[in-house]
Amino acid sequence: MHLRASPGDPGTSRTLTAWTAAVTATGQVVSRASTLLLTALATAVVTRTIGEAGFADWGTVLMLFAMVAFVLDPGLAPVVVRRLIQQGDEAPSPASLLAVRLAMAVVAYAGVVGLTVLLRGHQALVLALVLGAQLLPRAVVLNVGTWMQAEHRLHIQTMLETVTAAGGLVLLVAAAALGASAPVLAGAGLLAPAIVLAVLMQRELRRLPHASARDPGEERRLIRAVLREAAPLAGAIVLVSLYTRIGIIFVNQADDGRVAEFVLAFLFVEQALVVAAIVAATLLPMLGDRVSPHRAGPVEQDLLVGVTTLGAFGALLLIALAEPLVLLLGGSELKGAAPVLTLLAPACAAIFGNVFVAYLFVAARRSPLYLAYSLVGLAISVALGFALTLQHGAEGAARATWITELVVVTLAAVPYFGRSGPARQAVLTMVAAVAMAVAASELAADGAVAPVPAALLAGALLAAVTASRMHRLVGHVRLARAPSGQR
């Protein structure tokens, strides 16, 4: 599988293999881990500088930012990547797609500011204006990232994100030392690095193969075609973004005074979403020309189990380390976020499976079906918001999050993975992986078992249940790397 640049196109293309997938995935995970550390340090600086009340405003803006950020890429990247791989001349130019993304970013920006004022009052307006402005440079970054994804070079983007995040942390610490207000902290620590990253990514675009200097009419035709193809997935992304984060609206309305604690705990779920997207985006170019639109094959079945297992181990790690992580990031003032994080952790396992299935449906051209499942997810999330969050506050929202994610991924997986014995076993194993994380979470939150023993016990059981699938998955990777004559 490989891409070829058209005559006169900038950059050079390269062959995509299991090795390039491993390199880009490893590079992204390593860089993301570094960025996560920098983000944790920045969060610790912010929480200690602006306090619990200020962080309630800050965190609400960031969650609304993430909630509406789907408009920067409403299914465009997977569709364009598929076209670059399968029909290279049917992909629009980066410049044409950027114009669409920027227009969407302006709409999202207005939404973030308006919702912030509605939920937190006019005192949060300036902060929303500064934090929300990240949407504009983010549109540039995501646009270039689409072409990087098709070339298995997204690790370059994450490395640049790490470098700019480090610079932002330096500016943030300096601003905090000077006693700066929350909007100034946001501008120095988040907005300025986002702008620098956008400039660096535009420079990277020159190294990538892409179409340029097409007839404007042809570009408009390609953009319309991409938008039509992405429409079902765009709808699904809208719904997923809403049902994953809509808890913040109900927590604000629950009046339990724990908005800041829920926001701090949810920051870890946001990172799980990022890592899950890295894994799925890396797999998409490899699966794009071989996935059946009718039934998932053995490789996809094992990948579902493998990806969900990875998320489940991440959930168990969060359960074991919830209290020290919260104290590190939020300090003693926000220590109440630890039980919320413990209850929220199982969402990581379900999210990993859910994101993989969503990308798999794109490769199989089943996006309209995933839209229907996501609509069910939104309905469940809203119902649980009224039934759990308004009654039980942040803890209710935590449980509502993983319940919704698990229901959606199960609804999507059952019909597509089929009714054969191995297929049913794959789906049941996926559900079991999430259930083990839930069991550890509830035992630890209830105090019946200490967090570390609960996580270790669930981890040992998880490893035993998924061992055979993981062994087969390693075999699939080895086969993909072997020369064609040895397969």
Three-state secondary structure call for residue 372:
helix
- Give the residue, 471 or 442, on which the prediction is more confident: 442
Between 204 and 183, name the one with better pLDDT: 183
Give the SS3 label for residue 212: coil
CA 376-379-384 angle, to 5 degrees, is: 125
Q: What is the pLDDT of residues 115-130, one digit of tens each?
A: 999 989 999 999 999 9
The average pLDDT across 471-475 equals 70
The residues, any chain, with a CB within 8 Å of residue 428's CB and separated by 6 or more, are none
Higher pLDDT, 274 or 126: 126
Is-contact 402 425, C-beta < 8 A? Answer: no
* pLDDT value of position 6: 39
Q: What would the pLDDT profile of 285-340 be if each residue is shown by its tens digit?
A: 555 556 777 787 888 888 899 999 999 999 999 999 999 999 988 888 889 999 99
**pLDDT band for position 18 (cuts 50, 70, 90):** low
What's the chain look like in SS3?
CECCCCCCCCCCCCECCHHHHHHHHHHHHHHHHHHHHHHHHHHHHHHHHHHHHHHHHHHHHHHHHHHHHHHHCCCHHHHHHHHHHHCHHHCCCHHHHHHHHHHHHHHHHHHHHHHHHHHHCHHHHHHHHHHHCCHHHHHHHHHHHHHHHHCCCHHHHHHHHHHHHHHHHHHHHHHHHCCCCHHHHHHHHHHHHHHHHHHHHHHHHHHCCCCCCCCHHHHHHHHHHHHHHHHHHHHHHHHHHHHHHCHHHHHHHHCCCCHHHHHHHHHHHHHHHHHHHHHHHHHHHHHCCCCCCCCCCHHHHHHHHHHHHHHHHHHHHHHHHHHHHHHHHHCHHHCCHHHHHHHHCHHHHHHHHHHHHHHHHHHCCCHHHHHHHHHHHHHHHHHHHHHHHHHHHHHHHHHHHHHHHHHHHHHHHHHHHCCCHHHHHHHHHHHHHHHHHHHHHHHHHHCCCCHHHHHHHHHHHHHHHHHHHHHHHHHHHHHHHCCHHHC
For 128-171, how does the pLDDT look when each residue is reduced to its tens digit (9 = 90+)? 999 999 999 999 998 888 888 777 777 888 899 999 999 999 99
**Which of the residue ranges 32-41, 151-160, 239-248, 341-350 has the most confident prediction, judged by mean pLDDT?**
341-350
Section 109-119 average pLDDT:
93
Query: What would the mean pLDDT of 349-367 be, rounded to a whole number?
Result: 86
CB 307 within 8 A of CB 24: no
Residue pLDDT, tens place only, 392-423 = 999 999 999 999 999 999 999 988 887 778 88
Q: Is 2 helix (H, G, I), strand (E, B) or coil?
A: strand
Q: What percent of the chain has pLDDT over 90?
A: 46
State the DSSP string of 282-331: HHHHHHTTT--SS---HHHHHHHHHHHHHHHHHHHHHHHHHHHHHHHHH-
Distance CA(132)–CA(219), nearest Å, equals 30
pLDDT at residue 291 in the model: 72
Query: Could you tell me what percent of the chain has a pLDDT over 70?
Result: 87
Confidence band for 487, pLDDT divided at 50, 70 and 90: very low
At 256 the pLDDT is: 66
pLDDT at 445 over 90: yes
Name the nearest CA neighbour of 150 among 232, 77, 230: 77
Average pLDDT, the chain: 84
Write down the pLDDT at residue 116.
93
pLDDT the model gives residue 105: 92
CB 135 within 8 A of CB 101: no
What is the rounded average pLDDT of the residues 95-116? 91
Q: What is the mean predicted confidence (pLDDT) over 228-234?
A: 78
Tell me the mean pLDDT in the region 477-484: 47
